[in-house]
Structure 1
């Protein structure tokens, strides 16, 4: 089965959406599926207003159609709501092709944090965008409930996973800093609420891994915090392992893949009791959720690191890929029904031809 995934989130962006899609593509062949991506690469782009590091594609209908027609996909999934996502959605609707979408980002929170647009306007736009999809894939049960309550049609679960071979407890100690070490990883941007972590009165050292539009400002305001910039793969896993607590201050993430990466490295989590942490951590003895983030971070110091690792080992990317493909089953059935109807029509035409001649 060949699947086309349309996404505006792609390299050089570093975020959970890109990591999820990359890992999905490498895992899907184990289940007999091949994933191709339609991204901004090879197209003209412009910088996203208020966040110039993210590039948006300039799309022409004939260019998008040519790319899709060349791939001849068996199923189409639209991962994001940007210019690529809109162009592929338009292509599918005009040609009567069923498609699925996914809801990765709480755009209403992100947009209203930057520009004075009413949040309910953004929700209505999102509802319209996803309204034509056969299924809307989301990462948690609480998000399914929220979107259903907002009038979204057919939200279904598509959980996330973690590479337990890469993100695993390591004995290396790359952080020669006063302990305890409180770590956060992610985009340094207003919607991630990193300032709530940096403002905490905590012993030891606060460490930030990641880049983003607020990094320079926060480095000036919090000179005692260690900013390491972007880190990847083994270097990132070693930094996770060297931390004592992973602090996740975001209130807007739909999941929080970095929490799983930290847990897989044996690091307990401190977070606010909001969607994302509630779904990932819940009541499991692997983290502390509290509106008092300082108290949560200090209490997390006593958590058994082995319990964190054991929990994360259950969250595999194989499970994630299998559920993604299961969610596409409705498109496969539709395509098979379409092919069967076409064959039936052809057989009927072939049978009718001789009688037509006799007449």
Structure 2
């Protein structure tokens, strides 16, 4: 099958959207499918205001359409709601080409957190963007419910996975975690205002708080919370060793749709604490984590969970399953020449 994925989020960005698309693409290509990614690195782009790491492609409908026509896809997937996918959406509608979309990010909440614009205003745009889609791929039941509540009923499930070659129990803890006063409480992810990391750093559970990642809020948070350890970005085996050195993983975000880092932590045998919101309530079980309106309470409860049970549950999330769900959610068009 020839699959075109159009996305405004791609390398060198480091986030859950990019990691999901990269991982699913790798599985599909290993299965013999051809996957063409149309991303901002193929166009002139500008940095996104307040988010310079994200590049906004200045792509015309014609230029994106030419790439799609040249590839001759059997299925078209628009992964994000940014300008590149808007151009692709316009071309698809103009040429009566069906497509699917995905709701990766609580975009209305993100914009509201950064700008103060009411989230419902942004939902008008979300409804406009996704309404013509054959299917909207969403990762959790809570996101499905939210989309349906906002008038978008054509939702299909698309879960997430873990690279189990890197993330598993028994890994030696990272050297930077050695000798820290326990319990060691870890956050991994982008260090930005919408991730609500301040709530984690303000929590009063005794022990050491560790932050792995980078982002625009890092300098300010380091200055305000000098007792916390900021270790910068980590990937692959090094990141797994950071999980291994933690007693509990803390996920303070209130705006994520899933939270890949939670299942990575679980696969390493680390219980998870978070708020009772979309993401944690969909991913965690009573045996593997805890949620509470008071994050300190959630941390204390999560520390009582069995690490072996966490690892066993974490192993149930694979990219092979995720890729299968993605493939079967696509809208397949005519059988085009695979050798073209």
- TM (normalized to structure 1)? 0.90
Q: Distance in 1 between matches of 2:182 and 2:121?
A: 46
| Paired position in structure 2 for 1:346 | none
- SS of the aligned residue for 1:114 comes to helix
The offset of 1:34, in angstroms, is 2.3
How do residues 1-359 of structure 1 correspond to structure 2 at under 5 angstroms? 1-174=1-174, 175-176=177-178, 177-281=180-284, 283-328=285-330, 331-332=331-332, 334-335=333-334
- SS of the aligned residue for 2:187 comes to strand
Conserved? CA contact 1:45–1:57, under 8 Å: yes
Conserved? CA contact 2:212–2:231, under 8 Å: yes
Q: Distance in 1 between matches of 2:88 and 2:62?
A: 11
Superposed CA deviations along residues 274-310 of structure 1, whole A, max 9, x for unmatched, are 11100001x4300011111111112222211000010
CA RMSD of aligned residues (A): 1.4
- SS of the aligned residue for 1:113 comes to helix
Q: Distance in 2 between matches of 1:30 and 1:231?
A: 26
Superposed CA deviations along residues 130-185 of structure 1, whole A, max 9, x for unmatched, are 00100000001121112111101301111111111211123412212222110011
| Paired position in structure 2 for 1:348 | none
Q: Distance in 1 between matches of 2:169 and 2:208?
A: 20
The number of aligned residues is: 334
Q: Distance in 1 between matches of 2:203 and 2:121?
A: 34
- SS of the aligned residue for 2:40 comes to coil
- In structure 2, list runs of 5 or more residues that go unmatched: none
Q: Which has the larger radius of gyration?
A: 1
- SS of the aligned residue for 1:153 comes to coil
Runs of 4+ in 1 over 2 A off after TM superposition: 29-34
- TM (normalized to structure 2)? 0.95
Q: Distance in 1 between matches of 2:53 and 2:314?
A: 32
Higher share in helix? 1
Conserved? CA contact 2:108–2:119, under 8 Å: yes
Of 109-118 and 1-10, the range deviating more from structure 2: 109-118
Conserved? CA contact 1:131–1:153, under 8 Å: no
Q: Distance in 2 between matches of 1:94 and 1:236?
A: 45
Q: Distance in 2 between matches of 1:153 and 1:306?
A: 38
Q: Distance in 2 between matches of 1:285 and 1:72?
A: 47
Superposed CA deviations along residues 14-36 of structure 1, whole A, max 9, x for unmatched, are 11100100000111135442221
Q: Distance in 2 between matches of 1:118 and 1:143?
A: 19
